[in-house]
Structure 1
């Protein structure tokens, strides 16, 4: 027996604003027939290709420590540095630069509410470096 991940939930102070940020980051969309609107306490978005869903739900608690679970993003159409610049323009903040000599490593960023996520090298960058990734 096993379970299926129905969606990934992210706590937020403003579910709508955070869902809008992540829609731009990931290219996700609102659910058909269930658009997210300002003031909604729960906002779900989905990947139009895979169907993966993220649910943003309003909670009164402040984020106070490092996330125990986070997303690792691999840019689709640009390199890691260009994607980091795009995300910063959308409102992300740099938490740490974990790049190392030779191009390996990642950037740790935070969304507008402080939730950390990482930006890895693109598949094209990995291929050019001869690095196999699962």
Structure 2
């Protein structure tokens, strides 16, 4: 017997505000029959393509240490650096830049959302494939 992940939960101080912040980052939407509203202590958003769910739930304690689990985001289109620029404009804060640490075009950038939850921006599938093809051509 095994289990599956029903949804990903993010503890937070303001479930509505954080769910609203993450919706355009991920391209997620409210559930049709359960829209999120100000004052809701639990706000659930869904990926319209995959159905993945993220639940934001208010807790009394504040974030005090590094996340033990975090999102690794990969752009659906464009590049890692274009997505990084978009997320900075949206209000994400850069925590650590690990681009090019393992050679040109490698690595990721660690960002934080408005409540300090860290997440990473990786290279897009197209960037990863281009790097793989270039490496094979050199070999």
| Count of aligned pairs between the two proteins | 131
* SS of 1:130 mapped into structure 2: helix
Quote the residue 1:51 is aligned against: 51
1:107 deviates by 0.1
Q: Which residue of 2 aligns with 1:121?
A: 123
The alignment yields a C-alpha RMSD, in angstroms, of: 0.9
Query: What is the TM-score normalised by the length of structure 2?
Result: 0.92
Greater helix percent: which structure? Answer: 2
Q: Per-residue displacement from partner, 1:62-105 (whole Å, max 9, x unpaired)?
A: 10100000010000111011101101111110000011231110
Q: SS at 1:108's partner residue?
A: strand
- In structure 1, the gaps of 5 or more residues are none
SS in 1 for 2:6: coil
Distance 1:16 1:64 in 2: 21
What's the CA shift string for 1:102-131, capped at 9, x where partnerless? Answer: 111000000110000000000111111116
Computing the radius of gyration from Cα coordinates, the structure with the larger value is 2
Whole-Å Cα distance in 2 between the matches of residues 9 and 76 of structure 1? 22
Report the Cα offset of residue 42 of structure 1. 0.3
Q: Which residue in the other structure is 1:22 paired with?
A: 22
5+ unaligned residues in a row in structure 2: which ranges? 134-139
Query: Separation in 1 of the partners of 2:88 and 2:2?
Result: 38
- Provide the C-alpha distance between the structure 2 equivalents of 1:75 and 1:50, rounded to a whole number of angstroms: 15
